[in-house]
Amino acid sequence: MPEITIEEFNPEMTDDTADVLARAFVTNPLNIAVFGVDQVSANQAFFRGGLRVMRGRKLVALDGARIIGFIHWVTSPRCQVSIPEKLTMLPRMIPEFGLQRSLRISSWLATWSKHDPKDPHCHLGPIGVDPHAQGRGIGRRLMSLYCEDLDRTTTAGYLETDRPQNVAFYQRFGFEVTHEMPVLGTPNFLMRRPALR
């Protein structure tokens, strides 16, 4: 079995990475609320578009040449989409997802954006591992790299999750729930990791 390696993401990896993220997130409550059950192709389109506009650090986990995991983080305020960017996003989403899904995506992202911390932080997300590769410590390796970056730069970490079972995973890395709220009728957990002093 080839060794798992971690590399910087490059744009040629967009389609394969979007496929991995779609499979990893297709059962997430928010993705179901937006796209419906088992909507892998809609999730692929969502992540393909997201990968093109994500700023900050993007890493992939590779099993040989096959992408099996992804992580992204970005420091504030670059983690927020500007008003002009928001104004151009919805018209571009409608042909891809239809009006109803586009409005749900906008509502989801706007709710998260409203709760983004005002003080300096490094925003995590998404992080995902192909379901066929889960249980091999890949998510833990990717999270460790993110936390090492937080510690090296003495920056607070921040993330959102809509999976209650993920809360314990993030707590192992020093994150604590700071706020719970519904997004599209789905419980969400906002989590923060204090900066090293």
Query: What pLDDT sits at residue 180?
Result: 97
Q: For position 82, what pLDDT does the model report?
A: 61
Q: What is the pLDDT of residue 2?
A: 63
DSSP string, 95-130: HHH-HHHHHHHHHHHHHHHHTS-SS--EEEEEEEE-
Per-residue pLDDT of 158-183, as tens digits, reads 999 999 999 999 999 999 999 999 99
Q: What pTM, to 2 d.p., does this model score?
A: 0.94
Cis (ω within 30 of 0) for the bond into 77?
yes
CA atoms within 13 A on the CB side of 56: 22
* Alpha carbons 81 and 86: distance in angstroms, whole number: 6
Q: Which residue has the higher pLDDT, 86 or 148?
A: 148
Q: What is the pLDDT of residue 59?
A: 98
User: Using 50, 70 and 90 to split pLDDT, how confident is the model at 80?
Assistant: confident
Least reliable range by pLDDT among 6-10, 45-49, 94-98: 94-98
Q: Kindly report the average pLDDT of the chain as a whole number.
A: 93
Q: Note the pLDDT tens digit of each residue in 107-128.
A: 999 899 999 999 999 999 999 9
Write the CATH number for 129. 3.40.630.30
Comparing CA positions, the residue from 28, 23, 73 lying closest to residue 165 is 28
pLDDT at residue 111, as a whole number: 92
Residue 186: which domain range? 4-193
Number of domains in the chain: 1
**With 70 as the cut, is the pLDDT of residue 83 above it?**
no
Inter-CA distances, 177 with 25, 46, 68, 158, Å: 21, 27, 28, 10
pLDDT of residue 99: 87
Kindly report which listed range (7-16, 80-89, 151-160, 170-179) carries the lowest average pLDDT score.
80-89
Sign of the C-alpha dihedral computed for residues 86, 89, 91 and 93 taken in this order: negative
